[in-house]
Structure 1
Amino acid sequence: MIRNIIKFIFKTLFMFFTLNKLNNKKIVFIEGTREKMSGNCGAVFKKLQNYKEYSFILVEFYKSNVKYPNLKHYSFFDLRGLFHIATAKYLIANEGFFNFLPKRYSQLNIQLWHGAGAFKKFGYSIELEKKDYHIKKNKVIDILSVSSDKVIDVYTEAFQIDKLKVKNLGMPRADIFFKEDEKLKVKERFFNEYPELKNKKIIMYAPTFRDNDKGDFKLKLDIELMKEKLEKLGYVLFLRLHPNIKKDDISVDNIFSYDFSKYEQVSDLLIVSDILISDYSSIIFEFSIMKKPILFYSYDVEEYIKDRGFYYNYYEFIPNKINYTTEEVINSIINKDWDLERIEKFARYFFNPFDGNSTERVLKEIGLWEEEK
């Protein structure tokens, strides 16, 4: 009831603001609670920021500490943010939180989404009883960008939108993983900040957020056992946990184990990491681009399949075997139990074209690409 009242108030204010003329030189980036301009919106903004004739606005659900030159920044609950959404020609979003707002006839609503490929089910695919809700919610989208032709049907179903709106333009935030010079700059910057890690072999553990993690999260990876077996071999362990997880009970020593859950640029962590451990997270898609080892620590796979479900057969889909225990994870690392060619094939299936030019394709599609810039 309260949520519906709030939405009604914001829709009413939005309609009032539409009495103002649409600004064809205004671009609004819309973020929910996830990436804070470190993902797709950030990649697009960095390509556009030198376009002096445009004004750039970031509207977030809650205002974060994002600071970029030439970027004005508002909370959604600041009426100035709502005004800019109502008067901008271009709306570029990374998730669908603000889709309840109407869209002006000549506005362009571009949905870049925050996950690559197609893995665990989402949207209408897990809420079959809410078809009308998803149709109504997503009708404001003009373009939904995906990373491969192979997943167009999946996103058409999940969003319940016209298939012609789903376009294989790519994932802007993934472009950096194709560019060796940019990756070298990331590594140099990171290891200047953390010089003690420069000659270490970095393992990153990035598990999926589970619904029951909010109340009583218990890390299932045995950090002490990892340390006992792997520290002497030159490894360190990074933890990258979901922001909704309370991590008070997780102990890291900042010698072998480190908590990088709040580190802003997850792409930096992927670039400096040598091995990724995950389970059902879409982070595996971007990491696979770099043809580096991925281990799947999927201790609750049967339960997860039952509760959430996947678009593919999980056992056949992942480019490695399943590890069910910390001991199996350790053995896989020691024995180098992975097939890099299989990982590359996986990457090329879900990123096609496999070229690192997604940002350019998105901007060309919406008419904002200028070659000389």
Structure 2
Amino acid sequence: MDKLVCGAEHIDWNSNAERIYIRGYALIRGKNIDKNYKVKKSLFIYNDDRKFIMPAQNELRIDITDKYRDDNTNYDYAGFEGFIELSSINYNKPLSKGVWKIGLYLNANGEKIETDLKYVGDKKELKHMIPKEIQPDNKKFIRKEKLEIKDGFITINVSDEKLSSNEYIKNITINSPMAIQLKKNLKSMKRKFGNWVLQRIYSIARHKKIVENRVTFLSDSRVDFTGNFEFIYNELQKRGGYEIKSILKPSITAKRSLKELISFVNYLATSKYILLDDYYPQIYKYDIRDNVEVIQLWHATGAFKTFGFSRIGKKGGPRVKSRNHRNYTKAIVSSENIKLHYAEAFGISEDRVISTGVPRTDIFFDEEYKNKKISELYNKYPILKDKKVIMFAPTFRGSGQKSATYDFEVFDIKKLYESLGDDYIIISKLHPFIKEPMNIPNECKDFVIDLSKEREINDLLFITDILITDYSSVCFEYSLLNKPMIFFAYDLDDYIASRDFYYPYESFVPGPIARTTSDIINIIKENNFEVEKLEKFRNTFFDHFDGKSTERVVDTLLKLDK
């Protein structure tokens, strides 16, 4: 039996990335790797001449204990994730030629081992990783960095390929300013032609009969029925009589297939009901048929940060004549008090905005669901049972998905641990746009657990005692539990200047505002949560407290003609 058990289960790298993300597990048989033992892991990359070590973050993996335990040994913290920064190895220059190997260093309770790292994940995952091509100073060569699995181990093979005379001429030609502009023009022409073809198909499909019981779900931010979609879908299934279609993809940058595009225009032309849950640019190009309902369920509750046409004149805001959002026939909100804001944001009349309540908030009034989720989460993360749980759930900074980031240095984990570590534990739930994980110091691994990969933040709210957020709409859902919140707005002035809010932030949020980590600590130690603000906040942003918002949406907006 091997003493060291390790493997990389997931690798993420593409030709545009300067870093390789690796997630996996590592353990030494018979050595405990739980919260009571010091565990340190690092990734390293090396060749015959050089070696570079980069710290990895421990990750809670109870499944590894279940899989490998052969006595009373605990391997709960065998998981790891980390990055290898390729750009830092050779001062932003290409890697030197040859084979670079990737390895793992493990220190488990004083026993140290390092080894080359095997890939134990799905090999299909690696197919999209095309070689990275770099143009050295000598334009007669192309340097390729290619991730390969050799004898099961992860390597990067770096080689130079000499260009033929024709390729050399082509290479210096295609990189000229004129060639770059030409490529942009051709790409634009291709996109316009594709849109023209789809419009023609849509014009033909409009002559088909509308299918009165067809409901089509469209999203650029999810690949399955979650959030409001899940609740509406389940209700439609329960009632029966609906024909349900969907076109979903994980992000706005993910490409659609030709088949999906043709299905999209066909469903758009023939469905009685079209359901959206977020910004969906593909639909704004089309004139919606009479008697077809395009219903925006919107992913956020309440009205907090300005969005849509409320941001005209601000960076990233729409043009005045933009078609975005304007073809919604209906939109749902949680309260009559915010109808005006949503009408303004979507560029539609106020009578199209309906206060049905938000379907995904129904769980806050379902005791059976609540108790089930609490039990599931405690079984999955038993470390959370014994202390008060603080959830850290900030929104992203940046203009959108591609530029999303967060300044983790302002949230001083060590300082929080020193002051609160005896009584509290922090779970981190980052916005899905934030791809860089929080760097948790090794000594704080039993104080902060990153649960960003958990699908539903609302389920985590049930086990949360204090919420720390900033400008996220999660504060609306959490207010339904009547629990304390802290608003960590370290960059409030900058955020107001770039994004702004529908209400004055300082008087609007239902809890104290913290500008520093010390402020957070003082608020918690002094129990100064301003909970008296919660009732007014709830009554302003919610009309319904009965757990029947999903039923109202279907009854009001998705009727079937009997």
TM-score, with structure 1 as normaliser:
0.87
Q: Indicate whether 1:271 and 2:462 are aligned.
A: yes
Aligned partner of 1:161 in structure 2 is 348
Give how far 1:51 is off: 3.4
Aligned to 1:239: 428
Give yes or no for contact 1:63–1:75 (8 Å, CA) kept in 2: no
2: CA distance between counterparts of 1:31 and 1:39? 11
Paired AA for residue 25 in structure 1: N
Tell me how far apart the structure 2 counterparts of residues 260 and 365 of structure 1 sit (CA, whole Å). 36
Alignment of 1:156-235 (within 5 A): 156-211=343-398, 214=403, 217-219=406-408, 220-233=410-423, 235=424
Q: Which range moved further: 155-164 or 293-302?
A: 155-164
SS in 2 for 1:50: helix
Secondary structure in 1 matching 2:295: strand
* CA deviation profile, 1:7-43 (whole Å, cap 9, x unmatched): 4444344334444432222211122226953211112
Q: Which amino acid aligns with 1:23?
A: V
Q: Please point out which of 197, 218, 222 is paired with 1:30.
A: 218
How has the CA–CA distance of structure 1 residues 102 and 191 changed in structure 2, closer, same or farther, with 3 Å as cutoff? farther
Determine whether 1:284 maps to 2:475. yes
Task: Find out whether 1:104 has 2:294 as its counterpart.
Answer: no
SS at match of 1:207: coil
The verdict on how the C-alpha distance between 1:284 and 1:5 changes in structure 2, with shifts beyond 3 A counting, is farther
Offset at residue 172 of structure 1 (A): 0.9
Change (3 A) 1:197 1:104: same
Partners of 1:272 and 1:80 lie apart in 2 by: 44
Inter-CA distance 255–164: structure 2 relative to 1 (3 Å threshold): same
Task: List per-residue Cα deviations over 1:281-315 (Å, max 9, x = no partner).
Answer: 11111111110111010001111111111111111
TM-fit CA distance, 1:3? 5.7
Alpha-carbon offset, residue 76 of structure 1? 8.9
Partners of 1:62 and 1:76 within 8 A in 2: no
- Distance of 1:198 and 1:26 partners within structure 2: 45
Asked whether the equivalents of residues 427 and 451 of structure 2 are also in contact (C-alpha less than 8 Å), the reply is: yes
Aligned counterparts of 2:539 and 2:339: Cα–Cα separation in 1: 15
1:212 and 1:130 mapped to 2: Cα distance? 16
Q: What residue in structure 2 maps to residue 142 of structure 1?
A: 329
Q: 1:117 aligns with which of 302, 311, 332?
A: 302
Conservation of the 8 A alpha-carbon contact between 1:148 and 1:168: yes
Residue 13 to residue 298, structure 1, CA distance change in 2 (3 Å): same
Specify the SS of the correspondent of 2:319.
helix
1:149-193, Cα deviation, whole Å (9 max, x unpaired)? 111111111111011101111111111112223211211122222
Q: After superposing the two structures, state which structure 1 stretch, 30-39 or 46-55, moved more.
A: 30-39
Other structure's SS at 2:503 match:
coil
Distance 1:4 1:171 in 2: 37
CA distance, structure 1, for counterparts of residue 194 and residue 378 of structure 2: 46
* Structure 1 pair 286–266 and aligned structure 2 pair: CA distance change class (3 A): same
Q: State the distance in 2 between where 1:280 and 1:99 align.
A: 28
Task: Select the structure with the greater relative contact order (CA < 8 A; seq sep ≥ 6).
Answer: 1
Whether the 8 Å contact between 2:215 and 2:271 is mirrored in structure 1 is yes
Which secondary structure state, in structure 2, belongs to the residue aligned with residue 28 of structure 1?
A: strand
The Cα offsets for residues 340-371 of structure 1, whole Å up to 9 and x where unpaired, read as: 2311221121011333221111111124389x
Taking the aligned partners of 2:530 and 2:524, their CA distance within structure 1 comes to: 12
Please state which structure has a larger fraction of its residues in helix.
Answer: 1
Q: CA deviation at 1:81?
A: 4.2
| Alignment coverage as a number of residue pairs | 358
- When residues 218 and 76 of structure 1 are mapped into structure 2, their CA distance, relative to the original with a 3 A threshold, is farther
Q: What residue ranges of structure 2 are gaps of 5+ in the alignment? A: 1-187
The Cα offsets for residues 218-275 of structure 1, whole Å up to 9 and x where unpaired, read as: 3121122222222211x11111112222315623665221112221111111222111
- The answer for the alignment partner of 1:262 in structure 2 is 453
Give, in whole Å, the separation in 2 of the partners of 1:259 and 1:6.
42
Aligned partners of 1:204, 1:76: CA distance in 2, in Å? 42
RMSD in angstroms over aligned alpha carbons?
2.7
Deviations 1:127-163 (A, max 9, x none): 2572221xx3333211111111111111111111011
- Which structure 2 residues correspond to residues 70-89 of structure 1 after superposition, within 5 A? 78-79=260-261, 81-82=263-264, 83-89=266-272
After superposition, the Cα gap between the structure-2 partners of 1:76 and 1:301, relative to the gap in structure 1 and judged at 3 Å, is farther
1:348–1:354 Cα contact (<8 Å) kept: no
In structure 1, distance between residues paired with 2:238 and 2:521: 47
CA separation in 1, counterparts of 2:215 and 2:404?
Answer: 38
Q: Which amino acid aligns with 2:290?
A: Y
- 2:542 is matched with 351
Does the CA contact (< 8 Å) of 1:360 and 1:369 recur in 2?
no
* Letter aligned with residue 299 of structure 2: H
Q: Distance in 2 between matches of 1:117 and 1:303?
A: 22
What is the TM-score with the length of structure 2 in the denominator? Answer: 0.59
Q: Percentage identity across aligned positions?
A: 34
Whether contact under 8 Å (1:31, 1:95) holds in the other structure is yes
Higher-Rg structure is: 2
Give the 3 Å change call, closer, same or farther, for CA 140–218 of structure 1 in structure 2: same
Give, in angstroms, the shift of residue 204 of structure 1. Answer: 0.9
Match of 1:307 among 498, 501, 513: 498
Counterpart residue number, 2:556: 365
Give the structure with the larger strand fraction: 2
Q: 3-state DSSP class of the match of 1:84?
A: helix
- Secondary structure in 2 aligned to 1:332? helix
* CA distance 1:16–1:43, change in 2 (3 Å): same
Q: How does 1:42-53 map to 2 (within 5 A)?
A: 42-53=230-241
Could you say if the C-alpha distance between residues 131 and 36 of structure 1 is closer, same or farther in structure 2, counting changes exceeding 3 Å? Answer: farther
Secondary structure, aligned partner of 1:175: helix
Alpha carbons of structure 1 residues 4 and 204: separation in structure 2 relative to 1, 3 Å = farther
For the Cα contact (< 8 Å) 1:62–1:75, is it kept in 2? no
Q: Is the 8 A contact 2:301 2:476 kept in 1?
A: yes
1:141 match: secondary structure: coil
In structure 1, what is the Cα distance between the partners aligned to 2:466 and 2:524? 8
Q: Match of 2:217, SS?
A: strand
